[in-house]
Amino acid sequence: MVAIASSVCLSVAAQPDIQWQRCLGGSAYDWAYSISTTDDGGSIVVGETQSTNGDVSGNHGAGDFWVVKLDNAGSIDWQHALGGSASDWAHCVQQTNDGGFIAVGLSASVNGDVTGQHGGEDFWVVKLTATGALSWQKSLGGTLNDGARYVEQTSDGGYIVAGYSRSSNGDVAGQHGDSDCWVVKLDASGNLVWQKALGGTDSDEARCVKETSDGGFVVFGYTQSNNGDVSANNGGWDYWLVKLDANGSMQWQHTYGGTGNEFGHSITLTSDGGFFVVGETASNNGDVSGNHGASDIWAVKLNDAGVIEWQRALGGTGSEWTYSAEQVVDGGYVIAGRTDSNDGDVNGLNGGVDFWILRLDAVGSVLWQEPLGGTSDELAYAIRSTTDGGYLIAGGSSSVNGDVSGNHGNADMWVVRLGMDDVGVAETDRLEFSVVPNPAHELLQLILPSGWNWARVWLFDSVGRSVLDTQVAGATPLIRIGNLTPGIYSIRLIGSSGSLSQRVMLE
């Protein structure tokens, strides 16, 4: 058993500063929908491009998937435009266990990089190497429109993909009418393992899916239905959360909202085994209270059965939306969205529509908020925390002033790096954690410090690349490491009271 002493304490919050910002694109329309951190300390960004100049090369026509790899200073390592002569755009990207990338979105093309298209728009799933070369691609769907919104690599090395489908043929079975949430389980090579159409006779769409600790999945989005798989709709559109088992069978479902419209976009698995969901609301009744006017960001904390523990409507008298959130090291949350308000919870609007970044504590109180942008329009679609306690935010910008510089024309992808969130840690009491066995083979067990019941865990190899990034719960969690190369690794934990690290040998 190996232990290490470290020191931590909590500090008072202040909004972090911009470390760098980058406008990416050409003279036409370019937009980012997803960003993820990468093993080398950089990031991977995806979205769409209609440009053929500036930072963009290789566009196939109309709009393409645009995949951009950035280093830790925001400079472009490489970029690839992927697609065909029709419209293609990417909604989500993640780095995979082999160091490559998986990206999903939709494609209407039948040529170029796209094969196997079924008609209309298809889910388009793209597997890339570490340098962005195309490993394989899959078109999934039927003869009508189908679009993928989210992808995650699963514990078996395959992938879970979620979005919507209007089709009732091809790869799609069990469609209920209009559009359904469509969830697809793929193996490591992109072959279809199972699919599930979820919904009722009205419109339903999945925006996010996450694998749960029991090997099943939670699917989050929104619904207009009140029949089929959906019950207890509150009126209009509602948030919709569905729990599936490992084979895609429904275990339970919940709707959340009021008589106005709620659109759910992001779900986070929380350290206590529950869920944190965000989107927007136009209601001020039912499950919703505290709406400031028009639409607010609606943040809801749920327990492990999907029951509301608390909710917060966040915004001003204008319109606020969000597409992305994460739980952070102290058990609180960070949210990225958009605002055109300058009252209520919002202060410091730059003009038009701004990125709006919100930091909440563990019970939903606002610790800090920060509008980012210029006098034109900015919309944030994704936020990811970094290993040093900062944040990467991606979306789009049409501004040429304020916080924004380097715009290429029209709208650009806009990526912003914020510095350390000083809700973080400093030195005080000595804490210990253990890793057993050490050396480890297939499984690694952590014995967390007294009082810790969750942690975010990173493993770094001998050259500093992140090879594992996961969140664990319980006092003695297990981590599977059988797919990693033997050698000396550094393990870093961030938990309820701070940050700890030590070395571990894998054999």
Instruction: Convert the pLDDT of each residue in 424-434 to its tens digit.
Output: 444 334 467 88
Instruction: Convert the pLDDT of each residue in 335-384 to its tens digit.
Output: 999 999 999 999 999 999 999 999 999 999 999 999 999 999 999 999 99
pLDDT for the residue numbered 10: 32
Q: What is the pTM of this model?
A: 0.85
Name the DSSP class of 485.
P
Residue 29 has pLDDT above 90, yes or no: yes
What are the sequence ranges of the domains in the chain? 425-506
Residue 154 has pLDDT above 80, yes or no: yes
pLDDT for the residue numbered 280: 98
Mean pLDDT of 206-234: 97
Residue 8 has pLDDT above 50, yes or no: no
Which range (129-143, 196-210, 221-235, 427-441) has the least confidence? 427-441
Name the DSSP class of 446.
E
The CATH architecture that domain 425-506 belongs to is Sandwich (2.60)
Two tokens, residue 91: 């909604």
Distances (CA, A) of 316 to 224, 310, 343, 376: 26, 20, 5, 19
pLDDT for the residue numbered 464: 61
Instruction: Convert the pLDDT of each residue in 421-474 to its tens digit.
Output: 877 444 334 467 888 888 887 888 898 887 787 888 888 776 566 788 888 888
pLDDT band at 9 (very low <50, low <70, confident <90, very high): very low
At residue 288, φ and ψ (nearest 5 deg) are: -105, 130
Instruction: Convert the pLDDT of each residue in 243-277 to its tens digit.
Output: 999 999 999 999 999 999 999 999 999 988 899 99
Start-to-end CA span in the chain (Å): 16
Share of the chain above pLDDT 90, in %: 76
Two tokens, residue 305: 């059965």
Q: In what order do the strands lie in the sheet with 101-107?
A: 88-95, 101-107, 122-128, 134-140
